[in-house]
Amino acid sequence: MTWIQHEIVLAPRRRGFHLITAEVEAALGAMPQLAVGLLHVFIRHTSASLSINENADPDVPRDLELALNGIAREDFPYAHTLEGPDDMPAHVKASLLGSSVTVPIRGGRLALGTWQGIYLCEHRDRGGPRHVVLTAHGQPAAASAAP
């Protein structure tokens, strides 16, 4: 079994749901190939999150953003307000969605479903660069070919 870890820095994005599958795959491609394994994707922030959801219809990320804004409203009487009106709702949204996703690896590639993609869920108006740790664990491709 092999363990591989790599950190990527995602460019700042506006508030909303942003597909990062290609960036994760590019980083995975730079790692030694695994025939079978798991990729754990972890975001090192408390005001952004990660999610796996539909990657085909642009209405999906828009609707997810609208729904979360309805659940964690900026006009709620939060006590934690020093970092602006979008900060505490961002923490609530990040708690609801979570800081990590795990994806199977098959043949050196992510084994996502046809309509699935990995999203950075940016909950701040100006969240800045986001640091994501990729940890892969599994059977190396060369080792699986051995008799």
pLDDT over 60 (residue 88)? yes
3-42 residue pLDDT tens: 999 999 999 999 999 999 999 999 988 777 899 999 999 9
pLDDT band at 143 (very low <50, low <70, confident <90, very high): low
pLDDT over 60 (residue 145)? no
Assigned domain for 28 exists? yes
β partners of residue 120: 18, 50
CATH number at residue 62: 2.60.120.460
- The total domain count for the chain is 1
pLDDT of residue 29: 85
Q: Which two tokens stand for residue 120?
A: 């950075």
Three-state secondary-structure class, residue 70: helix
* Contacting residues for 113 by C-beta, under 8 A, at least 6 apart: none
Q: Which domain holds residue 71?
A: 2-141
Burial of 68 (0-12, 13-18, 19+ CB in 10 A): buried
